[in-house]
Structures are given as structure tokens and as C-alpha cells.
Amino acid sequence: MGRRRQPEIRDRILDACVDHALAHGLPGRLEPLAAAAGTSNRMLIYHFGSRDALLREILGRARHRQRELFGAVLSPRSGEPYPETLRNAWRVMTGPAGRPYLSLFGKLRNDAEQRLWPGFRREATTDWLQPLEDGMGSAGRPGLGTLVLAVIRGLIMDIEATGDVARADQAFDHFLAAVVDTARTGR
């Protein structure tokens, strides 16, 4: 009779693998993940079935964490103008708490084959649209949600390509000033 699976061990291993992937990216081999989780390659395969299945679960759990973090900072706050919420969200998303997610998922977004997560590029675009539309709706301009999303994504891609965070921060501040101006004038 085989050993009974222990979901708590599997979860602990998965969390350790996610932490490793966020700090170092997805490795090409299982050894770094096994070392990070304090286990063996054989045990990774036992718990997850295959390397690609483990990588998919790592990405899924990391995306869940990112959605919680980014969703919380993008949500409208009572008494706070939404452009200020966006400014604070931008700092979190591009700061130390958010950068590991941007790095991990930026590489995934650039994977033309999308073999680990088919449809990721579409999902990575549409999953932030509703919180931004809600937020812009609180500012009386729900139709600007798509524009805000496009600017955020474009500036994040700029940071990934150039590493020039200060320039992207300045551009985002200029954009927010234009959004405030547009909301105030109604045009």
C-alpha cells in the first residue's frame, strides 16, 4: 500500500517554490526548486507529477498572490481621490513588493509559445480592467479604465526594457496630472 498524500506538505513545498521563483525566476531545472523547498527532485515529481505541472502551479499561486496585492492597492478608498490611489498603487506595483511579480510575469508574457499558461497575455490584460474601471468610476470616468491599464502596462514594459524607474515614475505622474485635469474639465 502506498503512502497517503499529505496536502500540507505539498502546500509548504509549493509556497517555497513560489518564493524562489519570485526571487530568482523560473529555473530550467528542478534542482533549485528542490533546494529551496528542502526536498528532492523525486519528491517534487511525487507531489506535482511533472516539472511543467509544478511550474504551472507555481505561476498560478504567484498570480494569486499578485492579484491579492495589486487588487488591494488598486481598489478605491473612501475619502481618497482615485488618482492618489493610483499613485500609491504604482509605487507598490513597481516597488520592492511588486517588482518580483512584474519580472516573473513579464518573462511569461514574452513567451511566444505560452506553453506553461496558454492565454496568459489576454488574462494578464483583462484581469486588471475591472478594478481600474471601478476606480475610475469612483472618479466619474469609468471609460478611462482601459487607458489607465494601457499606460500602466506600457510603463511597466518600459521599466522591464530599460530599468529606468525614475523616468517611468515621472511619466506616470504626468499621466495622473492629465487624468485629474480631464476629470476636472470633463473632456
The per-residue pLDDT for range 130-184, each reduced to its tens digit, is: 899 999 998 888 889 999 999 999 999 899 889 999 999 999 999 999 987 766 6
How buried is 79 (Cβ within 10 angstroms: 0-12 exposed, 13-18 middle, 19+ buried)? exposed
Q: Range of 123's domain?
A: 7-185
Q: What is the DSSP letter of 90?
A: H
- State residue 1's pLDDT score: 47
* Whole-prediction pTM: 0.86
Q: Is 109 part of any domain?
A: yes
Chain-centre distance of CA 108, in angstroms? 11
Q: Is 137 part of any domain?
A: yes
C-alpha–C-alpha distance, residues 149 and 133, integer Å = 9
**148 and 136 Cβ atoms separated by less than 8 Å:** yes
Q: Is 151 part of any domain?
A: yes
List Cα–Cα distances, 173 to 10, 47, 113, 151, 177, in angstroms: 43, 46, 35, 11, 6
Q: Is 121 part of any domain?
A: yes
- State residue 177's pLDDT score: 93
- State residue 183's pLDDT score: 61
Q: Is 1 part of any domain?
A: no
CATH of the domain at 20: 1.10.357.10
Q: Is 60 part of any domain?
A: yes
Query: Taking the C-alpha atoms of 37, 51, 97 and 165 in order, what is their torsion angle to the nearest 10 degrees?
Result: 130
Query: Taking the C-alpha atoms of 160, 96, 112 and 124 in order, what is their torsion angle to the nearest 10 degrees?
Result: -120
List Cα–Cα distances, 177 to 34, 65, 81, 148, 180, in angstroms: 47, 30, 12, 12, 5
Give the three cell numbers for residue 80. 481618497
Q: Is 98 part of any domain?
A: yes
Q: Is 2 part of any domain?
A: no
- State residue 112's pLDDT score: 58
Residues in the chain where the model's pLDDT stays below 70: 1-5, 109-114, 182-187
- State residue 186's pLDDT score: 59
169, HSE (Cβ side, Cα atoms, 13 Å): 11
Domains held by the chain: number: 1
Cα angle vertex 154, ends 77, 96, to 5°? 60
List Cα–Cα distances, 52 to 13, 59, 180, in angstroms: 15, 10, 45
